[in-house]
Structure 1
Amino acid sequence: MYVDNNWITVSGDEKEGFIEQVDPIDGKHKATMETTDVAWRSLPFYENIAMIRVKDSSWDPAHLTVYYLVREGQLYRLNGTSPPIHEVNEVAPIKLNEENILDYLRFFCFFVRGEEGPFLIVEDMDNPHLPKDKLDDASLKVIEGVIRPATYEGKNDEGFYMCDGIVYYSNALFIANFAIQPGGMIEMLDDDPVAADLPAKVDAPVS
């Protein structure tokens, strides 16, 4: 998630203090000054919250990426469930608007997992989490033919933000409609399959 150049590397005493706070991550992943990469970034829907990304090629699986939200030194582990996000949304508090609502949709759907993985919002073929190396040419052509940018459609009578997008979940693509409350709760209203039985699932472990 957020595979771009807006991450700021954490080093020196700050990195050492962070590693002392989290090691071992989830009680099993060793973090060290030598092998662990730590970076942080801001998010457009929080004012006083940073997101921290932790990676280490010695972990199993090697492509595991661990994320935290942090507020005034308090860490909230993004472990694939919704409670940490809702807790941060309440204490931050979250500030959604028409400009950042799609960013929040992408964030929430990536970090709140089902049994088959993330609900990845796919908008173009450059998405780094698309398992392109495991998809055959026919599948890639199908995906390219149905994906499109997520859209914000306005507010409903209750003041909820109405959005839609293409979701890659398990081995299928769906067009999904979402209602997002100002406090950050998201409900998927409809999901209609547009491609099924793809040969690969999204493989982007966060825990």
Structure 2
Amino acid sequence: MWTPVTASEVEHIKGRFEDFEAPDNLEAEYIEPPFYTRAAILRLRCTELGNAYYIAVGDGELSEREFYPLDGNTYFVHEANKKAGITLETPAQAEAYMYFFCYMMERGDYRFNILDNIDGFTVVERAPPSVTPPVFKGAVTTENGSGFLFGAFMEYGGHLFNTDIAVLTDGYLEMLDDDPYGPLVPVTRH
């Protein structure tokens, strides 16, 4: 659940951004995810700019922390992970991190979305699968490390994929397998 940032703290956060004039109606809220010991996810919102997300790494007030932009580039996530005390010791932590990482990752014009269902949509080229939330398949070791293996359905660029994703304990993800199902289209109701 997102926690609102106090008005005085929002003013301090505004001062951190020298490269643009922060609008007067800027709002901020944060969440402390279960996979970080020294970081929060910060969301800045305003009508003019929409939403902007950051990993705020450190202790104490949010405005005093080091900000890493969540702009679709995985580089900043991995840099923040090195300083944020990432903790991926349980399947629950790894699953929460997988949702976060995939949603914040962007390739081209698209984000990777882990799906719990495809209610309201169908697959064009073949019968749609029974889409369920991610399933923990057990421990995994790859050439890049060890962690947790999940079977998950993912939407990317309007297409549905059945994937196996390794969530490594250092915060890297590997897609070990993907089975494309085809384009997702809205179901027409009469």
Q: Structure 1 length as normaliser, TM-score? A: 0.75
Mapped pair 1:95 → 2:81: no
CA contact (8 A) 1:164 1:177 kept: yes
Mapped pair 1:18 → 2:9: no
Cα deviation, residue 145, structure 1 = 5.1
Cα deviation, residue 90, structure 1 = 1.3
Q: What's the counterpart of residue 202 of structure 1?
A: none
Match of 2:114 among 113, 121, 130: 121
Aligned ranges for residues 101-180 of structure 1 at < 5 Å? 101-124=94-117, 140-142=121-123, 146-157=130-141, 159-180=146-167
Q: What's the counterpart of residue 36 of structure 1?
A: 26
CA contact (8 A) 2:114 2:154 kept: yes
Following TM superposition, the consecutive aligned residue runs of length 4 or more in structure 1 with deviations greater than 3 angstroms are 141-146
CA contact (8 A) 1:146 1:194 kept: no
Find the structure with the greater CA-based Rg: 2
Unaligned runs of 5+ in 2: 59-64
Cα deviation, residue 101, structure 1 = 1.0
Match of 1:7 among 2, 8, 24: 2
Cα deviation, residue 157, structure 1 = 4.5
Q: Deviations over 1:123-171 (max 9, x none)?
A: 1357xxxxxxxxxx6xx24498542111111102553211121111002
Q: Deviations over 1:67-124 (max 9, x none)?
A: 0111221111111011111112111221002221111111110111111311100113
CA contact (8 A) 2:160 2:184 kept: no
Unaligned runs of 5+ in 1: 1-5, 127-136, 200-207
More strand by share: 2
Q: Deviations over 1:179-200 (max 9, x none)?
A: 121101111111111232647x
CA contact (8 A) 1:116 1:169 kept: no
Q: Structure 2 length as normaliser, TM-score? A: 0.82
Give the aligned CA root-mean-square deviation in angstroms.
Answer: 2.2
Q: What's the counterpart of residue 203 of structure 1?
A: none
Q: Distance in 1 between matches of 2:78 and 2:152?
A: 22
Residues 197 and 106 of structure 1: CA distance in aligned 2, closer, same or farther (over 3 Å):
closer
